[in-house]
Amino acid sequence: MTKRVFSGVQPTGNIHIGNYLGALKQFVQLQDDNDCIYCIVDLHAITVPKDPKILRENILDVAALYLAVGLDPEKSIIFVQSDVSGHAELAWILMCNAYTGELSRMTQFKDKSRNSESAPTGLFAYPVLMAADILLYDSDVVPVGNDQKQHIELTRDLAIRVNNKYGDDTFVVPEGRFLKEGARIMALDDPTAKMSKSAENPLSRISLLDDDAKIKKAIMKSTTDSDGLIRFDLENKPGVSNLLTIYSVFSGTPIADLEKQYEGIGYGTFKNDLVEVTSGALAPIRKRFEEIRLSGELIDTLKDGAERANEAAEIVMRRVRNKFGLGVR
Ligand code: AMP
Ligand code: TRP
């Protein structure tokens, strides 16, 4: 049976190899055998104030990247969140069923709000909007990186809670899909922190659109350790383990084979080879991105996607309004 797959990426610039290896790669793998919907979640992006012009550019950048990594609008629905009003509507309904206690425990909220009384309410409600995104399409499977595990659990809790109150067939209870390798790529300058779009040091990440010189600099300067052994050991050698993971997923060579191949060889050679592997993987994405971004077809693709997404969303929204006794239309 084909499954409904849903996922989203925030249009915040600096889409990096963590986003690619943890999430986007899965999106592409899933699109042949499933009914996939991929969203650019602009409403999530404004939890932190954004310059409207830059936000608009970032939305088109993510759309072009979706296509550049291999998503095909003939196979998958690709659209922008705020073009389908059901997301915000369902988020409100779910907020009325989410507990302030459970939202206070979300680690992403705790990290970003830092106990400040002036943290925006949207930052607090962010995971509920994410749950709405997923439940709005009767999604079965949600491919994401490890950092989203807690949000997926909350989505499942909310779906089950509403089903218990309003009827079992209100929502489909979704499952997260996490990769064994690549689900958590770490920062290159600090392998104890995850690679992020917003970290201050640009050498902490490799963005998908970085040129060869930047890729080289970030990898050559990456933090390792002093024992000189190329061995996968997350606890004692987080830096080398992270590089091995990146090498393995870009090259398709199992980590155990890489460990053998680099036995007795120093970090310099290993890093040089990783530069080549990474540059080789990203160059075609960069080239396709430039072509697609300039082609002028992007807006039409997104409009068409929004239309199809809206149709799918309305089916669920009609059911949900009906279950809750909302509206009279
Ligand atoms: P975001 O940039 O927060 O919109 O994330 C988009 C997708 O990339 C989500 O599925 C994240 O879980 C995933 N992701 C973000 N950072 C990483 C990382 N360092 N390693 C693996 N996956 C990640
Ligand atoms: N919160 C996700 C992130 O920061 C992005 C996101 C929003 C998402 N809505 C979603 C991911 C729905 C999967 C499904 O990465």
Atom of ligand 2 nearest to the CA of 81: 9
> Distance, CA 21 to ligand 1 centroid (Å)?
9
- Binned at pLDDT 50, 70 and 90, residue 1 comes out as confident
pLDDT at 193 over 90: yes
Which residues span the domain enclosing 178?
A: 4-183+296-324
pLDDT at 116 over 90: no
- Fill in the amino acid letter for 137: Y
Q: How high is the mean pLDDT of the chain?
A: 97
> Are 312 and 257 found together in one domain?
no
- Binned at pLDDT 50, 70 and 90, residue 320 comes out as very high
Q: Kindly report the CATH number assigned to the domain that includes residue 248.
A: 1.10.240.10
- Binned at pLDDT 50, 70 and 90, residue 53 comes out as very high
Tell me whether residue 195 is in a domain. no
pLDDT digit string, tens, across residues 239-298: 999 999 999 999 999 999 999 999 999 999 999 999 999 999 999 999 999 999 999 899
Give mean pLDDT, residues 162-186. Answer: 97
Cut 0.85: pTM above it? yes
Give mean pLDDT, residues 211-219. Answer: 98
Q: For ligand 1, is residue 195 a contact (CB within 6 Å)?
A: yes
Please report the pLDDT score of residue 195 as a whole number.
98
> Are 316 and 224 found together in one domain?
no
> Are 39 and 154 found together in one domain?
yes
> Are 234 and 315 found together in one domain?
no
Atom of ligand 1 nearest to the CA of 19: 8
Please report the pLDDT score of residue 175 as a whole number.
98
Domain count, the chain: 2
Please report the pLDDT score of residue 288 as a whole number.
97
Give mean pLDDT, residues 189-200. Answer: 96
| Residue percentage of the chain with pLDDT more than 70 | 100
More confident residue, 111 or 172: 172
Tell me whether residue 197 is in a domain. no
Residue of 20, 94, 130, 156 best suited for mutating to test ligand 2, as the one with most atoms within 8 Å of CB = 130
Please report the pLDDT score of residue 115 as a whole number.
83
Give mean pLDDT, residues 213-240. Answer: 97
What is the rounded CA–CA span in Å between residue 284 and residue 93? Answer: 43
What is the rounded CA–CA span in Å between residue 106 and residue 289? Answer: 34
